Amino acid sequence: MAPGKKAELDATLENLRDEVNKIGVVERSMEDLKESVMEIRNRMSVMERLEKRLDETEETRKREFASLFQATRKKSSQQKTTTGESDVAQEAT
């Protein structure tokens, strides 16, 4: 093999090695990005579940408040009716 050809082949091989190394770096970067994306998706999923839970908790609190409010109004209404009946009974005596 001629010395010029050998030098040319060596240079070509070196260029190919550099390209392979660059590809390896890109592949590692892609893997890192994929892991980051998965981590972000997991965190988003957790946040979505927490938001849903918060919304459910808020809805539950609203329903409980409405229920308690209605019960209080009903009780207050019954007490007024009972008080009114006793007032009428006292007036009759």
Instruction: Indicate whether this model's pTM tops 0.85.
Output: no
What is the tens place of the pLDDT at every residue in 7-42?
Answer: 999 999 999 999 999 999 999 999 999 999 999 999
Say which residue the tokens 């009428």 belong to: 88
Structural domain spans, the chain: 26-79
**Cβ-based neighbours of 13, under 8 Å, separated by 6 or more:** none
What is the tens place of the pLDDT at every residue in 47-79?
Answer: 999 999 999 999 999 999 999 999 998 888 888
Cα–Cα distance for residue pair 67/73, rounded to 1 Å = 10
